[in-house]
Amino acid sequence: MAAPSFLGWDFSTQQLKVIAIDEHLRVIYEDNVNFDKDLPEFKTQGGAHVHGDRLTVTSPVLMWVKALDMILEKMKSSGFNFSQVRALSGAGQQHGSVYWKKGSIQILKNASPKLPLHQALKACFAISDSPIWMDSSTASQCSALENAVGGAQRLANITGSRAYERFTGNQIAKIYNQNPEVYAQTERISLVSSFAASLFLGAYAPIDYSDGSGMNLLQIWDKSWSASCLDACAPELVEKLGNPVPSHSVLGSISPYYIQRYGFSPDCKIVAFTGDNPASLAGMRLEEGDIAISLGTSDTLFLWIQEPTPALEGHILCNPVDSQTYMALLCFKNGSLMRERIRNECASGSWDEFSKALSSTVAGNNGNLGFYFDVMEITPEAVGVHRFNSDNQKVLNFPKEVEIRALIEGQFMAKRIHAEKLGYKVRTHSWTVFNFLDTSILRSSSAELLSNWWLPVSWLSACTGAWGCSSLSA
């Protein structure tokens, strides 16, 4: 008898990924569809359409559905045994929204297994291109929302974040303001995560607490929609959103469409999908006091906290693993590109030379400190390079080895300071997980450096797929 398996899906910006694991968490299958390369008919760049104003950024909804069709057909052709899948779950890029046209629930529920799903659902969306997290066209809606609830800090106290242009509530408000007829045609608004779950469920899946925290609409303390925020964005919004649910909820069994077309078992369960950042916290199995840092083009820090203090910088989200606790999220725009520039200027473009220079200086850099922002930073809002010597005097330059350590120490001290502002408390046995998307830091002698700021250091890697399903089997 074949062993049970679990599927994890990732509806990300540039591709759709799937991973299958067995009951021992061993990977037994993985695949992906790259939107630009494998679905050229949608004419995306990086999985998105950047509009003429350079502010509006969207992705075609049917591209995501067709990618699901493609990957399921690839799995079927490979002989994958769908009948042994006990449960599936997944993640979606945060903040993006999908607008289901009135009457779509019946089409979704009764989709013919003779047709690919993207053909069955081609008339189901009031907006064909969904606004996604890269969009920054809602400045006026952000101001209106903050004013409506009593200011930026008040909004952060309610929803975990001040108003951000990419957050879903402000995107909904823009659609209502500019296209009221489209809004009127919409019977359900999904996040990318709940949209993906809906495809498998054959019904509208609820938004989960954690991904719902990235909308500027959810009261994070009692896990319900904020009436004042909803009213500030659009009318009758609560009916279009539905009731939010815990991120680990079992939503029901898989749609008959997949049973008949692919041979899934009728007993296969759908676990609520969540956002990609919350899924990372769950997939890396962080616990209270843990903190994770992803080093890439931009740096992301996320952590599990019990008693958060919402601030004007950073985000507080409901914890996807434990609904009574929270996670904090901080984004730093000046990541690997900033480190690469200093490497090129101070280490002849060599990471080995960079590492040697870093090792040649002492922790604390003899009191020399630098802040390096080539582009306008998110946390904090600042730009430019600012260097200070041990007498706290601003200077124009440092020796090369001092510059390198000032860059790295400044970046990580900033991460710690802003994490503590959100409620993180450094404990003796706190663990730091580093997801090294940036090989510059992996190749440098960063373990010595980072252990001075985050103790002790644990080097872990984890995949985020199927995190909800594997817990279901426990």
Please give the biggest Cα pair distance in the chain.
74
Structure tokens given for 23: 């009951």
| pLDDT value for 290 | 81
Tell me which residue has tokens 């409506």: 148
Within a 10 A sphere around the Cβ of 83, how many other Cβ atoms?
15
Dihedral sign from CA coordinates of 39, 138, 209, 459 = positive
Distances (CA, A) of 1 to 8, 21, 87, 186: 22, 17, 18, 46
Rounded CA-CA distance 33/15 in Å is 5
Of 374, 459, 378, 367, the residue nearest 418 (C-alpha): 378
Task: Check the CA dihedral 77-78-84-85 and report its sign.
Answer: negative
Query: In terms of Cα–Cα distance, which of 460, 134, 458 is closest to 280?
Result: 460
Whole-model pTM: value is 0.85
Of the candidates 9, 35, 5, 3, the one whose C-alpha atom is nearest the C-alpha of residue 470 is 5
Residue 152 exposure: Cα atoms within 13 Å on the Cβ side: 11
**Which amino acid is it at 211?**
D
Contact at 8 Å (CB) between 309 and 449?
Answer: no
User: Beta-carbon neighbour count of residue 421 at 10 Å?
Assistant: 17
Strands 57-60 and 97-101, bridge-based pairing: unpaired
Nearest to 122 by CA among 162, 187, 64, 62: 62
Asked if omega into 380 is within 30° of 0 (cis), the reply is yes
3-state helix, strand, coil in the chain (%, to 5): 35, 25, 40
Phi, psi of 245 (to 5 degrees): -135, 160
Angle at 188 between CA 185 and CA 189, to 5 degrees: 105
pLDDT at 366: 96
Averaged over successive runs of 10 residues, the pLDDT of the chain (474 residues) comes to 90 96 94 98 96 95 98 98 97 97 98 98 98 95 98 98 96 98 98 98 98 98 98 98 97 98 98 94 85 81 91 94 93 88 96 92 95 88 93 96 95 88 70 45 37 30 36 39
CA distance 464 to 472: 15
* Single-letter residue type at 319: N
Tell me, what's the pLDDT at 472?
39
* Chain segment 225-265, per-residue pLDDT in tens: 999 999 999 999 999 999 999 999 999 999 999 999 999 99
Q: Judging by DSSP bridges, how do beta strands 394-395 and 432-435 pair with one another?
A: unpaired
> What's the CA gap between 89 and 211, in Å, rounded?
14
